[in-house]
Chain A
Amino acid sequence: MTIFVIAEHDNKVLAPATLNTVAAAAKIGGDIHVLVAGQGAGAVAEAAAKIAGVSKVLNADNAAYAHQLPENVAPLVAELGAGYSHILAAATSNGKNILPRVAAQLDVDQISEIISVESADTFKRPIYAGNAIATVQSNASVKVITVRATGFDPVAAEGGSAAVEAVSAAHDAGTSSFVGEELAKSDRPELTAAKIVVSGGRGMQNGDNFKHLYALADKLGAAVGASRAAVDAGFVPNDMQVGQTGKIVAPQLYIAVGISGAIQHLAGMKDSKVIVAINKDEEAPIFQVADYGLVADLFEAVPELEKLV
């Protein structure tokens, strides 16, 4: 068995989600090869070669892969991956974009967002916004799987010494082109990788009030998230959204401030180790999953909390 892992990167840095994906591959067992598809991503390939447990890195360097357009990358993955037992990618926006296209090209069903490996062909994944866990078995010749990063502890980024092999295959479907991107800038840790997450909801009342959460987060070294209500109300940009339709997080500590705890939000954070809820409505559903609940006005409690930690 040899497992093919698609590296998540931006041509410069290897994303941490790749380490969680390799961890899932290690649980399946077998040789692990990593594909770096990009342009000028040599540093990423070198970083991938150092990941513990990786035995080979394939570096596909081509202008067609620069922005990881699925029309170009999927045929590459399908071509290279056809001989492998498993193809894995992190369930990031890139992984979700590319991998189903690969699965269809290989004529196999995909298994999305696995949270555990039961055996080489059997996996667990949440359905219905995390309200049920399905055990799914695949008899496909190549098992195509996306991995929910929070379900697996990352493997060590150092310690491996895999060989890097250049791949010359170039696919340019010519059906799509990159126009531009607008990335939100933040000095705080990345939401999905942070050990502590402080999230605000509709109760924050406006975007300006998020400054209270930023102050608390900076003191804790935490990332700041938001509920869909806060995003839809325009308080904060949508890449901060935690939930079924946003990001899935599982930090050590999740502090929900002014968040009622709708099903769709809980789907994104209920695997956090410790959940704290600060809400003035003591009937709010968030208190049913919170380890520590504080019924209080957030505008008094949050500044006080910031002072005391």
Chain B
Amino acid sequence: MKVLVAVKRVVDYNVKVRVKADNSGVDLANVKMSMNPFCEIAVEEAVRLKEKGVATEIVVVSIGPTTAQEQLRTALALGADRAILVESAEELTSLAVAKLLKAVVDTEQPQLVILGKQAIDSDNNQTGQMLAALTGYGQGTFASKVEVSGDSVAVTREIDGGAQTVSLKLPAIVTTDLRLNEPRYASLPNIMKAKKKPLETLTPDALGVSTASTNKTVKVEAPAARSAGIKVKSVAELVEKLKNEAKVI
């Protein structure tokens, strides 16, 4: 079966971002960019499904600027077969991305679409669910285990009180949680080979998708800073402060 994996280029998770002085957004100039950590887990899961003989082809897709090709090449080096970039210079909302992915799903007809549960920049946690709504497929969000058998997939999901398992008819949408797997690193020979794998570029216009949004970001601010605390010398002093100064115990 064919597996489609969506990946996003985001600011590297180790970078502490700064808000721009004019409050228009965060400063991403000269900041290290990487593949969103949850997307890495999605690629890894697809590659494992291929290694198990469940998946026959892995198509990786990204929606974003030209530079998102780097993240697609990374995915190809990790084991994806070919890549599609839907090029868009502007920042798109989850719904716009879901609509573009729907157009790609319509042409590619994958049996399984794997996405990360959320991107660490917008922290939205929406795209997978929205794609599931637009395609009418079942959704297995926050997956910690994925087992394909016949024409269905059993997904164990991380929920607030523990874990839940659902069975979905294929085709289906799965979004990855942290504990689904441990992503591998790309080896140098595979990075070289990935340069020769096909990468197709499309545009929202070519796909006939409107990316208009009902949301507008008015401003972006730095969070309120916490006032500096103090270091106490002993446990007794700590207890005394908590009881008499902070009055929380």
Residues of A in contact with B (beta carbons under 8 Å apart): 67, 69-71, 74, 92-94, 96-105, 107-113, 122, 126-140, 173-184, 192, 196, 220, 228, 231-232, 237-239, 244-245, 247, 252-253, 263-264, 270, 273-276, 282, 287, 289-296, 301, 304-305, 308-309
Which B155-190 residues sit within 8 Å CB-CB of chain A? 157-169, 172, 177-179
Q: Which of A92, A109, A273, A308 contacts B93 (CB 8 A)?
A: A109
A178 x B161 contact (CB < 8 A): no
A71/B139 in contact, CB under 8 A = yes
Contact call B215/A132, Cβ cutoff below 8 A? no
Q: Is the CB of B167 within 8 A of A176?
A: yes
Question: A110-B126, A175-B136 given as contacts; is B216 within 8 A of A139 (CB)?
Answer: yes
Interchain CB contact under 8 A, A97 and B249: no
Contact A100 B129 (CB under 8 A): yes
The complex places the Cα of A232 from the Cα of B42 at a distance, in Å, of 18
- With A112-B124, A294-B235: A136-B216 Cβ-Cβ less than 8 Å: yes
B residues within 8 A CB of A287? 229, 231
**18 extra A-B contacts, CB within 8 A, seeds A112-B123, A134-B220:** A70-B141, A71-B139, A93-B158, A97-B141, A100-B126, A101-B129, A122-B218, A129-B123, A130-B223, A135-B220, A181-B163, A184-B161, A239-B162, A247-B160, A270-B226, A289-B229, A294-B232, A308-B239
Comparing B43-51, B53-61, B240-248, the segment that makes contact with chain A is B240-248
**Would you mind naming 29 contact pairs between A and B with Cβ atoms under 8 Å apart?**
A71-B138, A97-B139, A97-B141, A100-B130, A101-B130, A104-B134, A105-B133, A109-B214, A127-B220, A128-B123, A131-B17, A132-B221, A133-B221, A135-B220, A139-B216, A176-B169, A178-B165, A179-B166, A181-B164, A184-B162, A228-B178, A231-B179, A238-B144, A253-B246, A263-B14, A264-B13, A274-B246, A282-B231, A294-B231
Top 3 A-B pairs, shortest CB-CB distance: A100-B129, A104-B133, A104-B130
Question: Given the complex, which residues of B lie within 8 Å of A295, measured CB to CB?
Answer: 231
How far apart are the CA atoms of A253 and B141 in the complex, in Å?
A: 32
Interface-central residue, B220, B231, B249, by most chain A CB under 10 Å: B249
Query: If A100-B133, A101-B139, A252-B248 touch, does A244 touch B120 (CB 8 Å cutoff)?
Result: yes
Could you tell me if A181 and B159 are in contact, using CB atoms closer than 8 angstroms?
yes
Is there a chain A Cβ closer than 8 Å to B52's Cβ?
no
The complex places the Cα of A175 from the Cα of B142 at a distance, in Å, of 18
The one of B95, B160, B246 in contact with A92, judged by C-beta atoms closer than 8 angstroms, is B160
> Could you tell me if A305 and B241 are in contact, using CB atoms closer than 8 angstroms?
no
Contacts A93-B158, A105-B133: A178 and B166 contacting too (C-beta < 8 A)?
A: yes
Contact B165 A181 (CB under 8 A): yes
Q: How far is the CB of A237 from chain B (nearest CB, A)?
A: 7
Q: Does A175 lie within 8 Å of B248, measured CB to CB?
A: no
Chain A residue nearest to B26 in the complex (CB): A132
Q: Are A176 and B162 in contact (CB under 8 A)?
A: no
Nearest-CB distance from A68 to chain B (Å)?
10
Instruction: Look across to chain B and name the residue whose beta carbon is closest to the beta carbon of A69.
Output: B166
Of the four ranges (under 10, 10 to 19, 20 to 34, 35 or more), the interface on chain B belongs to: 35 or more
- Asked if residues A275 and B229 are in contact (CB atoms below 8 Å), the reply is yes
Chain B residues closer than 8 Å to A264, beta-carbon distance: 13
Q: Give the contacting residue for B242; candidates A127, A263, A274, A282; CB below 8 A.
A: A274
Considering the chains assembled together, what is the distance between the CA atoms of A12 and B134 in angstroms? 32
CA distance A282 to B238 in the complex (A): 16
Partner of B218, one of A69, A132, A135, A178: A135
Cross-chain contact B235 with A132 (CB below 8 angstroms): no
Residues of A within 8 A of B16 (CB): 131, 263
Contact between B249 and A220, CB atoms less than 8 A apart: yes
CB distance from A143 to the nearest CB of B (A): 8
Whole-angstrom CA separation of A79 from B19 in the bound complex = 39
A111 and B215 contact, Cβ closer than 8 Å, known pairs A134-B220, A276-B242? yes
* Distance A237 CA – B161 CA, assembled complex (angstroms): 10
> Given known contacts A176-B169, A274-B248, is B229 in contact with A293 (CB within 8 Å)?
yes
Indicate whether A136 sits within 8 Å of B217 (C-beta atoms), given known contacts A274-B248, A292-B241: yes
Cβ of A97 to closest chain B Cβ, rounded Å: 5
